[in-house]
Structure 1
Amino acid sequence: MSELAEILTPCILSRGIPAWFEGIKAIQYAKKYSNSNEMADSEQSYEVGDFQNVEEVIAYFKEEAGDVKADWVDIMKRNAPDVLRQYGNLRTSILKDGIVPRKLKELVLVGINVAERYEKGIALHVNSAKKLGASDQ
Structure 2
Amino acid sequence: MTKLNEYKEQAQLEPKSRYVSEAWSAWREMRLQTLNRITNYLFILNSGALLAALTYVATKGANGGILNSIWLFAFGIFCSALHATLDYYLTESSFSAYRKDVTSLYEFKLDWEVFVDRNEHRPPFDWLLHIVAWLGGLAFFIGLVYGLRQIPST
The answer, yes or no, to whether TM exceeds 0.5 is: no
Q: Which has the larger radius of gyration?
A: 2
Class of the TM-score when normalised by the shorter of the 2 chains:
under 0.3
So what's the TM-score if we normalise by structure 1? 0.27
Question: Which protein is richer in helix relative to its size?
Answer: 2
Q: Please, what TM-score do these two structures have when normalized by structure 2?
A: 0.25
